[in-house]
């Protein structure tokens, strides 16, 4: 079998590399035995459907945030997202404010007030996103009060038996990723504090407050990261942001340059100085206007490349070359359409991008409940063949 990466052909046997070795070679655009086989997760409703369509009930399914994740049974590579808490400690008390047969209005642990649709909720996943009604920060006084919950020295930010964790991670054979559940997002945290509309106005009406919050968040993240970076070799750090929609970024290039760029640069420089080879931005939406700025700040890549928003990985590779690490980019909307549609999607994207290197193909978000289990299994089978270089 031949795998081409960045113009270099090598003959290799599948399985000759560990998951970690394979990932690091992919990051550095070096020959691999096969491509990395990763995916993001499932809706709860998808899990329920697949159980009725033949998926065994006794396989490992793990909840991480709102995602249901899965791995070994489906032949996926082991990847571990390490949990360092950046949440408010103590969190706000969960409080139900209103409830009827269809809706529940509640305050969550971050202090945000949601209205959620109860109908159709399965395994903790709602059928639609909650509507956000209120946020904890509107003034500087609110921020100063909230900041008391963001003490970087809180012992609960790390696992209870941290030294044991460090020993267990030293000889691992799988990639270790830092940044689960929006842990190190800058725009994401501003949005949680003020809401999308609130922070959009605040860039213009309260710029000094925005600068103060971002300065503190960056110092907060850096201090939290230090124990982990000093004692453990991480393989990727993620800025979880969701800072774009289908029509484009929620922040302009000018806003990014004014408020965010130097903070991204500080964090990226820290993690690179500790040997972390890949900084990736996790976001949906069309982000092309920001990509060059992010690369200039030390960010290396982006995922999951939402196809419905125009984030075609083949076109992104044409525009940015292998300077931009790509993860995702397989259109989730193709999976319900059947084998021919899946064939067209995967053959168009996976072989050329694997041959160029610095690409991990995954569905461009979680797998939605209109995907039949048989289609999912076919997708995994075809992707596995392509990852091994069997393109015929």
pLDDT single digits (tens) 105-120: 999 999 999 999 998 8
Q: Is 148 domain-assigned?
A: yes
Q: Residues 63, 124: one domain?
A: no
Same domain, 232 and 131: no
Residue 50 CB neighbour total at 10 angstroms: 21
> pLDDT tens across 369-384, in order?
999 999 999 999 999 9
Q: Say yes or no: 350 and 212 in one domain.
A: yes
CB 340, CB 17: distance < 8 Å: no
Let me know whether 22 and 101 are in one domain.
Answer: no
> Based on the domain organization, do 255 and 141 belong to the same domain?
yes
Confidence of residue 82 (pLDDT cuts 50, 70, 90): confident
Residue 392 domain-assigned (yes or no): no
Query: How confident is the model over 178-185, as a mean pLDDT?
Result: 81
For residues 104 and 186, state if they share a domain: no
State pTM to two decimals.
0.93
Tokens of 341: 């549609």
Band of pLDDT at residue 7, cut at 50, 70 and 90: very low
**Boundary of a domain, candidates 104, 135, 166:** 135
Residue 86 belongs to domain with CATH number:
3.20.20.210
DSSP string, 79-140: -EEE----S-SSPPPPEEEEE-SSEEEEE-TTS-EEEEE-TT-BTTB-SSPPEEEE-S-SSH
Is 187 within 8 Å of 240 (Cβ atoms)?
Answer: no
Last residue of a domain, one of 79, 102, 135: 135
> How high is the pLDDT of residue 10?
44
- Both 332 and 228 in one domain: the answer is yes
Residues ≥6 apart with Cβ < 8 Å to 340: none
Beta-ladder partners of 236: 177
**Residue 98 sits in the same domain as residue 235:** no
Question: Does the structure show a pLDDT above 60 at 9?
Answer: no
Q: Which domain holds residue 229?
A: 2-92+136-387
Beta strands per DSSP E along the chain: 2-5, 8-11, 62-64, 67-69, 80-82, 95-99, 103-107, 113-117, 131-134, 176-178, 236-240, 244-245, 248-249, 279-283, 301-304, 325-327, 359-360
Q: Is 74 domain-assigned?
A: yes
Is 184 inside a domain boundary?
A: yes
Number of structural domains the chain divides into? 2
Res 1: pLDDT? 38
Q: Rounded to an integer, what distance in angstroms lies between the CA atom of residue 209 and that of residue 138?
A: 10
80 and 225 together in one domain: yes
Chain CA centroid to CA 108, Å: 22
Q: Are residues 19 and 158 in the same domain?
A: yes
If you average pLDDT over residues 81-93, what whole number do you get? Answer: 92
The mean of the pLDDT values for the chain is: 93
Is position 318 within any domain? Answer: yes
Residues 196 and 229 in one domain: yes
- Both 121 and 160 in a single domain? no
Name the strand (E) or helix (H) holding 14.
none
Task: Examine the pLDDT at 240 and tell me if it is beyond 70.
Answer: yes
Domain-embedded: residue 106: yes
Q: What pLDDT is attached to residue 128?
A: 86
Which of 77, 106, 135 terminates a domain? The answer is 135
């Amino acid at each position: 079998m031949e795998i081409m990466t960045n113009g270099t052909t090598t003959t290799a046997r599948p399985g000759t590399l560990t998951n970690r070795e394979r990932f690091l070679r992919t990051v550095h655009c070096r020959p691999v035995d096969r491509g990395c086989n990763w995916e993001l997760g499932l809706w709860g409703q998808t899990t329920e459907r697949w159980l009725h369509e033949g998926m065994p009930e006794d396989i490992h399914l793990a909840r991480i945030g709102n995602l249901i994740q899965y791995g070994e049974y489906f032949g996926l590579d082991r990847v571990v997202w390490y949990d360092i808490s950046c949440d408010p400690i103590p969190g706000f008390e969960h409080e139900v404010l209103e409830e009827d047969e269809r809706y529940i209005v509640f305050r969550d642990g971050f202090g945000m007030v949601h209205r959620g649709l109860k109908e159709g909720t399965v395994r903790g996943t709602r059928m639609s996103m909650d509507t956000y009604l209120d946020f904890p920060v509107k003034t500087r006084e609110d921020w100063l009060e909230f900041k008391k919950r963001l003490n970087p020295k809180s012992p609960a930010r790390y696992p209870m038996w941290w030294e044991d964790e460090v020993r267990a991670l030293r000889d691992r054979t799988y990639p270790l990723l830092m940044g689960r559940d929006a842990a190190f997002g800058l725009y994401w945290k501003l949005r949680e504090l003020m809401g999308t509309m609130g922070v959009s106005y605040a860039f213009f009406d309260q710029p000094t407050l925005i600068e103060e919050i971002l300065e503190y968040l960056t110092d907060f993240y850096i201090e939290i990261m230090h124990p982990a970076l000093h004692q453990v070799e991480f393989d990727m750090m993620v800025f979880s942001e969701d800072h774009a929609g289908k029509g484009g970024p929620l922040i302009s290039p000018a806003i990014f340059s004014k408020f965010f760029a130097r903070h991204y640069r500080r964090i990226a420089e820290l993690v690179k100085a500790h040997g972390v080879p890949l900084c990736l931005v996790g976001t949906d939406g069309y982000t092309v206007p920001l990509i060059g700025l992010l690369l200039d700040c030390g960010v290396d890549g982006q995922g999951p490349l939402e196809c419905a928003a125009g984030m075609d990985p083949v076109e992104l590779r044409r525009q940015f070359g292998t300077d931009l690490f790509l993860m995702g980019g397989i259109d989730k909307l193709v999976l319900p359409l059947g084998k021919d549609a899946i064939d067209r999607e995967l053959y168009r994207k996976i072989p050329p991008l694997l041959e160029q290197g610095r690409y991990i193909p995954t569905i461009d978000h979680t797998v939605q409940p209109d995907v039949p289990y048989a289609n999912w299994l076919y997708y995994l089978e075809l992707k596995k063949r392509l990852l091994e270089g069997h393109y015929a």
